[in-house]
Every structure is written in C-alpha cells, then in structure tokens.
Structure 1
Amino acid sequence: MKINWGTGIVIAFGLFMTFILYFVFEVQSNSKYDNDLVVEEYYKHDSHFQDEMVRIQNAQDLKEKPSIVATNEGVKIIFPNGFKSNDIKGNVLLYRPSNKKFDFNTPIALHNSVLLIPQKKLIAGRWDVTIEWQYDKKSYQTKEVVYVN
C-alpha cells in the first residue's frame, strides 16, 4: 500500500496530538507534578488587592522601614527604634515558592524591636517574607525575598 502526502500529514498530526495528550494526562494525574495555585482562594484574595496596595504604600511612606536579614541564627526582622515594640501587632508569612508544605505564619512578638525566626524552622533556599502589621491605627505591609543558607 502506498501512502500519499495527505495521508502522511493526517498520520503525523494524529501522532502529535496523541503525544501532547499523553503528557497532559501524565501531569494532571501524577502527584509528582505539583500544579497547585499559589493562593488557595485566588479570586477571594484578588478582591482585597486594593487594600493590600494601600498597606504597601503606607509602608513605603515610612521614613524608617523594617529590615529583614538572614543570619546564622535564622531570619531577623528588625523594626526601627522609632516604633514602640508593644504597639506593633501583626503576622509574618514565610512563603516557600518551591513547596507550599513549608509555608508558615508567625505572629509578631518583638524583643528589643527584633523578631527572630529560628534557623531550625527554615530550610535552605529562597523564602518570600511578607510582614503585615498595624501600628498607631494604620496598616502596613512589606514584602521581601530572603535566601537562607
């Protein structure tokens, strides 16, 4: 049987579609390939985007901003001395882009204007640190990337 060019194109197209569909089903069914959303409730999170922008702008307007430093002891979040440590309330979210199982929240509890997140709670690599806090009836938010060794 002789195959003409039209039949060859149809066969090649069919094989290509089978190849692509195999990989789509493999990625969707195999738990080794994690394809979760970054945020669980994406649309609910997106509806509060304007509030987040206001908190970020409030933080950028500060003359002295909190700093985030990775040390051998862990990650230190240092608030400026102009803030009263007892009046700062909020949370610190440590987000691990490579695996959401390592994400965790820590309430802000300062000791001499410093919050230390111990090294034993962290694994080496990249961490996205988000600080959301309230001070003097105003909300603030700071985001920064930290690399832990």
Structure 2
Amino acid sequence: MKINWGTGIVLAFIGFIGFILFFVVRMSMDNKANHDLVTDEYYKQELAYQKEIDAEANAKNLVDPVKIEKTNNGLLLKFPKILEGQNIQGTVSLYRPSNKHLDFDLPVSLSNTHLLIPDKRLLGGRWDIKITWEHKGKEFLHKESITY
C-alpha cells in the first residue's frame, strides 16, 4: 500500500495531537503535579495589600532591622533593640514553596529581643519567612527567603 503526501500529513497531525493530549491528561491526573494556589484566601489577601506595603515600609525605616541568623539550634530572629520585647505581638509564618504541608505559623512571644525557631521544625531547602508584628499600634512586616 502506497501512502501519498496528503495522507502522511494527516497521520502526522493525528499523531502529534494524540501525543499532546496524552501529556495533558497525564499531567492533570497526576498527584505529583499539584496546582494549588499559594494561599487559599488569595482574593482576601489581595484586598489588604496596601496595609502590607505600609507595614513593610515601617520595618524598612527602622534603624536596626530584623535579622535572621542560622545557628546550630535553628533560626534565630533578632528584633530591633529599640522596640521593647514585651510589647511586641505578632506571628512568624514559614512557607515552603515545594510542599504546603510543611508550612507553619508561630506566635511572636518575646522575653527579650530574639526568637528561636527550633531546628527540628525546619527541613533542608528553601523557606519564605514572613514576620508580622505590632508595637504600640504600629504594624511592621519583614519578608525574606532563605535556604536552610
């Protein structure tokens, strides 16, 4: 049987379309390809974005900014000494881009100007840290990405 060039082109198109559809179906059904949003309440967070910008500007205007250091015991968050540690209220959110099940939040409760995040809570890899705190009615925000 002889195949002319028109039949060959049609067979090539059918083969290509089948190849693409195979991968589209495979990737949409596969559990490894997780297509979640970064946060569940994306639109709610988007509406409060100006407050976040203002809080970040407040943190950048501090003379002594927040510092994050790796130690043998974990991550050490050093808050500015100007702010009395007892008056700071807030949260530390650790976000793992590769696995949302590893994300966790810690309340900021300081006896002095530093907070230790234990080593056992952190797996190796990239972490996005978001520190939000309030001191005397003024909100602050510090964001940083680290590789632990």
TM-score (norm: length of structure 1): 0.92
Aligned residues: 148
CA deviation after TM superposition for structure 1 residue 126, in Å: 1.4
CA deviation after TM superposition for structure 1 residue 102, in Å: 0.3
Structure 1 residue runs without a partner (length 5+)? none
CA deviation after TM superposition for structure 1 residue 4, in Å: 2.5
Give matches, 1:22-61, under 5 Å: 22-61=22-61
Further displaced range: 42-51 or 77-86: 42-51
Give matches, 1:95-134, under 5 Å: 95-134=95-134
Alignment-derived partner of residue 3 in structure 1? 3
CA deviation after TM superposition for structure 1 residue 23, in Å: 1.1
Check conservation: 2:86, 2:111, Cα contact below 8 A: no
Secondary structure class of the residue paired with 1:35: coil
Check conservation: 1:69, 1:146, Cα contact below 8 A: no
Further displaced range: 114-123 or 53-62: 53-62
Alignment-derived partner of residue 144 in structure 1? 144
Q: Percentage identity across aligned positions? A: 45
Hey, what's the Cα distance between the residues in 2 that align with 1:6 and 1:46? 53
Hey, what's the Cα distance between the residues in 1 that align with 2:60 and 2:118? 27
CA deviation after TM superposition for structure 1 residue 46, in Å: 1.7
Query: Where has structure 1 moved over 6 Å in runs of 4 or more?
Result: none
Q: C-alpha deviations, 1:63-95, integer Å up to 9, x for none?
A: 111111111110111012111001111000001
Amino acid paired to 2:143: K
Change (3 A) 1:51 1:5: farther
TM-score (norm: length of structure 2): 0.93
CA deviation after TM superposition for structure 1 residue 117, in Å: 0.6
Amino acid paired to 2:57: Q
Question: How big is the alpha-carbon RMSD for the aligned residues of Structure 1 and Structure 2?
Answer: 1.3
Amino acid paired to 1:32: K
Q: C-alpha deviations, 1:43-70, integer Å up to 9, x for none?
A: 2222222221111111111111111111
Structure 2 residue runs without a partner (length 5+)? none
Amino acid paired to 1:9: I
Hey, what's the Cα distance between the residues in 2 that align with 1:9 and 1:48? 54
CA deviation after TM superposition for structure 1 residue 7, in Å: 2.4
